[in-house]
Amino acid sequence: VQTSWTLGQIAVLAGGQLQGDPGIVIRGIAPLQTARPGDLTWVTSAHFAKLLAHSEASAALIGPDLSAGDLPVVVCPHPDRSLARVLSAMEPPVPHPPPGVDPRAIVPEDVTLGEDVAIGPLAVIGSRVRIGARTRIHAGVFIGPEVEIGPDCVIWPQAVIRERCVLGARVVLHPHATIGADGFGYNFIDGHYERIPQIGRVRIEDDVEVGANSCIDRAKCGETVIGRGSKIDNLVQIGHNCKLGPHTCLAAQVGIAGSATLGSHALFGGKVGVRDNLVIGDRVQVAACTCLAEDVPDDSVRIGVPGIDKMQFLRELGALRRLPETTRLVRILLKRVEQLEAADHKTTR
Amino acid sequence: VQTSWTLGQIAVLAGGQLQGDPGIVIRGIAPLQTARPGDLTWVTSAHFAKLLAHSEASAALIGPDLSAGDLPVVVCPHPDRSLARVLSAMEPPVPHPPPGVDPRAIVPEDVTLGEDVAIGPLAVIGSRVRIGARTRIHAGVFIGPEVEIGPDCVIWPQAVIRERCVLGARVVLHPHATIGADGFGYNFIDGHYERIPQIGRVRIEDDVEVGANSCIDRAKCGETVIGRGSKIDNLVQIGHNCKLGPHTCLAAQVGIAGSATLGSHALFGGKVGVRDNLVIGDRVQVAACTCLAEDVPDDSVRIGVPGIDKMQFLRELGALRRLPETTRLVRILLKRVEQLEAADHKTTR
Amino acid sequence: VQTSWTLGQIAVLAGGQLQGDPGIVIRGIAPLQTARPGDLTWVTSAHFAKLLAHSEASAALIGPDLSAGDLPVVVCPHPDRSLARVLSAMEPPVPHPPPGVDPRAIVPEDVTLGEDVAIGPLAVIGSRVRIGARTRIHAGVFIGPEVEIGPDCVIWPQAVIRERCVLGARVVLHPHATIGADGFGYNFIDGHYERIPQIGRVRIEDDVEVGANSCIDRAKCGETVIGRGSKIDNLVQIGHNCKLGPHTCLAAQVGIAGSATLGSHALFGGKVGVRDNLVIGDRVQVAACTCLAEDVPDDSVRIGVPGIDKMQFLRELGALRRLPETTRLVRILLKRVEQLEAADHKTTR
């Protein structure tokens, strides 16, 4: 494992232009506030570039229009992408179970395993499960019967995938993710709830990531679908029969109620809630803590409880901030109008 | 496993009246939007009934006052209940561990197991645990010492039940549910928090369902109680010493703080929050994303942050939507009143 | 295990002054509403003290200025602290795995275990893990390679700690806690998301408690830090690179987005959300369901969506409650001003 790099090597990794001594030795990478001598850091805005003067970092990745004073820098057209490449080079090996089936895993005879599948200890695999090449199943994962998993997936420890669900290629499930638990559906009959069977499944398309302790419920019938390339953070709830378009991005603690549909490239902040059966368009952006209660057309930006157009929200918020003063003014106006009316009465009598 | 049904058989299952060819073959069931030839679908409102004309479904369950054009239908007095019966008939077998104790489970000698209890591999059962007849404990479940579980329960993989908790009959715990973790209680003394022991337990009554990754904390002393027939969705938090009445229904990501009491038949949308120590009456309905900060009497409907009466909320929301215009109007009125006052001053001088 | 105490013994445990018969036998402890004969209860406010007359409890711990009628009481200067001491004395033994490594645990040769470490069955420990003296690792816990855990910790069943994370002394992780999953970071390039490697770790300082099903993500680089003495409830999300100061207290379902910084002694109600990169000062108090969107200075109290100063919030809320009436009044004023203007026009013509 490489543990130091010259700044010249960093510039090549980053795909940027070096300004400074290429021989400077870099041993790690750290955010601006905590960088120490030997560390590379990065800034992407003029605000933070000013703080570089006070940083102990030995060098920085910076955007093309930023200045870093005397600090050696690598100027990058896309510093965020350059940062990802440098992080990737510096990443210590991520521990996965080695290819093969750990003898302490529980794997029935009738499973189909692709080349170099890795299954860790105490994983429990159901009958007729199919797992694609190079997929790594960590310790303690539970996979129900007839689940299909594509190649190059990573299933982190203690994730659960219930029967018949389907995962595409390069899917990542983080610890304690729950895929395919029963949808939440009951009929209320004679004062009590009767369960509606949830006989469908979950289908997760290629390149999806599902965060730790997140839940995606199986469909009442048919499929709950997570579109390809979607990224789902921790503690997110996706109800039964939801359809997420490709490349949706949901931050932590989002909740999508049953049968809601999200278009492609939806971008939701943390804790957003979506009512059941809504239809949300493509490229919709929703601010954190918003609660959507109505359908949303393509290319909209929503915020608030209930969620409304952002511009309208900001106008209302400004007016709300002045509301105590406005209310006081209305009371004063009432008195002044009463005085005018009294005077008017006298004048015209 | 039966994989096709005639529409005549479906009508019998559904308990409805057939309008169309009883020999039509049904191979599956699907929501209106995704139904294909061979599928049965269902509609329960006039809005969706109109869309049946564009559906590829071969037949539909419909409510008594709906029209479906030429499509063969089964007219049902309660289409939701009929749907549940048809789903139940079409449900593939749900995989549970077979009756008996898997040799790879960890089950001490002193447990008491009812008839046909099923315990899956790698389940860990504590001392003096009692489990009722036909209850199925899936792989990887943890059950602490002296837990009591009634008959006909299903504990899905990797649920955790800590020591001394009690579950009634027909209780379902979904994956990663956590029952009986310590309540969140500390005394703040001299600048730091000191733990208050949480020596009580959780008692879950008959016919309760607890969703995936939901948490019900044990009581500081006495019991946290989930009343019979209650249904709790995923990622829900129930704090220590809460008492939920029978037949409460909590959607995903609800959070109930410590020592709150909910009456019977409470119906909460997703993400509702309830402050500690509140008393919520019977048959209270709370809209999604509401934050309750006060006691709520029986039969109330609450919405908002903080939650208020729904009618009042709608009045305020309407006024809030017009607030920017109202604020502008107040400023204009001020000027016009000033002009009137100036004119009045001239007139009366 | 002791199962009864005299009220005299209770008074000594509580450190309070007995008023009543020291020989009264106490067999348990219960909240006011559910206490039965033989139970001790407690009250800390005049409101609840009034209800003691209707309680079946045999005795009560009460605060110094409260009256309990005829009920035998132990008057305590700090009844909450006294209650904790009595609960501690009455607490049944908490079941932990016995010291030593369970033969069914998976523990490689190269781990370093302190004195009397306890590792339960089916725990999976990674290479080069170091665990301090007397720490108890419950069944089914997963600990990745090179994790360091201090002495006297308790890791409850099925918690997951990924590689290289560090826990101090006396840390408690509740079931299904996920420590060190990847931070949620992507670059959006050409219509899809590319993962940013998350190469840092999580560092949890001494005396921290992390609730059931809570998630603390590893840093993009460097560390996500939970300051000493902090208490985190269930279902909480802490994003990558967050820094929590010492003695922060976060109630259930709080979510802190990436790179946010909290000062010492922050006290957050349930469901609070914090935007990424914010700086929250020391001793900040935030009401439940608040969504912070701006930095917060020391000693502030915030409430609302978005969160604002509490006094301002209460003024706005009062005005909002009257807003429908205020709006109606403005419309009436408009008409009356129009009439005055018409009259004025006539008069001055």
Percentage of chain A surpassing pLDDT 70?
Answer: 99
- B-chain residues within 8 Å CB-CB of A257? 251-252, 270, 288
Cross-chain Cβ contact C257/A251 below 8 Å: yes
User: Can you tell me the distance from the alpha carbon of A277 to that of C36, in angstroms, rounded to the nearest whole number?
Assistant: 48
Residue of B nearest to C264 (CA): B191
pLDDT digits (tens, 9 = 90+) for C310-323: 999 999 999 999 99
Taken in order A96, A99, A103, A105, the sign of the CA dihedral is positive
Residues in chain C: 349
Percentage of chain C surpassing pLDDT 70?
Answer: 99
Q: Does pTM top 0.80 for this prediction?
A: yes
Residue B246's pLDDT is 98
- B-chain residues within 8 Å CB-CB of A164? 92
For A52-72, give the DSSP string: GGG---SEEEE-TT---TTS-
Q: Is A248's Cβ below 8 Å from some Cβ in C? A: no
Cross-chain Cβ contact A305/B289 below 8 Å: yes
Percentage of chain A surpassing pLDDT 90?
Answer: 91
Residue B69's pLDDT is 84
Please determine, for residue A249, whether its predicted confidence score (pLDDT) is greater than 90: yes
pLDDT digits (tens, 9 = 90+) for C249-295: 999 999 999 999 999 999 999 999 999 999 999 999 999 999 999 99
User: Can you tell me the distance from the alpha carbon of B345 to that of A343, in angstroms, rounded to the nearest whole number?
Assistant: 10
- C-chain residues within 8 Å CB-CB of B191? 247, 265
Q: Assign C296 to helix, strand or coil.
A: strand
Q: Alpha-carbon dihedral of residues A131, A136, A140, A144, nearest 10 degrees?
A: -20
Residue C53's pLDDT is 85
User: Can you tell me the distance from the alpha carbon of B29 to that of B15, in angstroms, rounded to the nearest whole number?
Assistant: 17
Residue range A63-90: average pLDDT?
93
pLDDT digits (tens, 9 = 90+) for A296-315: 999 999 999 999 999 999 99
- CB-defined contacts B:C, below 8 A: 193
User: Can you tell me the distance from the alpha carbon of C214 to that of A212, in angstroms, rounded to the nearest whole number?
Assistant: 9
- A-chain residues within 8 Å CB-CB of B211? 181, 184, 215
Q: Is A318 left (phi over 0), alpha (psi -120 to 50) or beta?
A: alpha
- List, as ranges, residues 315-334 from A with C-beta within 8 Å of C: 317, 320-321, 323-324, 326-327, 330, 333-334
Residue B348's pLDDT is 62
CA atoms within 13 A on the CB side of B282: 3
Residue range C22-32: average pLDDT?
95
Q: What is the pLDDT of chain C when averaged over all its residues?
A: 96
Cross-chain Cβ contact A270/C259 below 8 Å: no
Question: H or E stretch including A249?
Answer: strand A249-250
Residue C197's pLDDT is 97
Question: H or E stretch including A47?
Answer: helix A46-51
Contacts of B267 (CB under 8 A, 6+ apart): B248, B249, B283, B284, B285, B286
Residue A67's pLDDT is 84
Q: Å from C194 to nearest chain B CA?
A: 28
Residue A107's pLDDT is 98
- List, as ranges, residues 118-147 from B with C-beta within 8 Å of A: 120-122, 138-140
Tokens of A254: 């989002």
Residue C349's pLDDT is 55
Residue B70's pLDDT is 87
Q: Is C265 a catalytic residue?
A: no
- A-chain residues within 8 Å CB-CB of C259? 31
Cross-chain Cβ contact C193/A265 below 8 Å: no
Spacing of C-alpha B310 from chain mean position: 21
Task: Find tokens 């953070």 and name the residue.
Answer: A233
Residue range C177-201: average pLDDT?
97
Question: Looking at the DSSP assignment, which residues form a beta bridge with residue B224?
Answer: B202
Cross-chain Cβ contact C176/B222 below 8 Å: no
Please determine, for residue B345, whether its predicted confidence score (pLDDT) is greater than 80: no
Residue C345's pLDDT is 75
Residue of C nearest to B342 (CA): C344
Residue range A34-40: average pLDDT?
95
Q: Å from A164 to nearest chain C CA?
A: 24
**Interface with chain B: mutation pick from C41, C178, C206, C233, highest number of B CBs within 10 Å:** C233
Residue range A160-182: average pLDDT?
98
User: Can you tell me the distance from the alpha carbon of C74 to that of C67, in angstroms, rounded to the nearest whole number?
Assistant: 11
Amino acid at site A227: G
Q: Is B209's Cβ below 8 Å from some Cβ in C? A: no
User: Can you tell me the distance from the alpha carbon of C140 to that of A95, in angstroms, rounded to the nearest whole number?
Assistant: 19
| Active-site entry in B47, B54, B174, B240 | B240
Cross-chain Cβ contact C234/B178 below 8 Å: yes
For A158-177, give the DSSP string: T-EE-TT-EE-TT-EE-TT-
Residue A1's pLDDT is 77
Residue B78's pLDDT is 94
Q: Assign C274 to helix, strand or coil.
A: strand
- B-chain residues within 8 Å CB-CB of A223? 34
Cross-chain Cβ contact B235/A221 below 8 Å: no
Please determine, for residue B254, whether its predicted confidence score (pLDDT) is greater than 70: yes
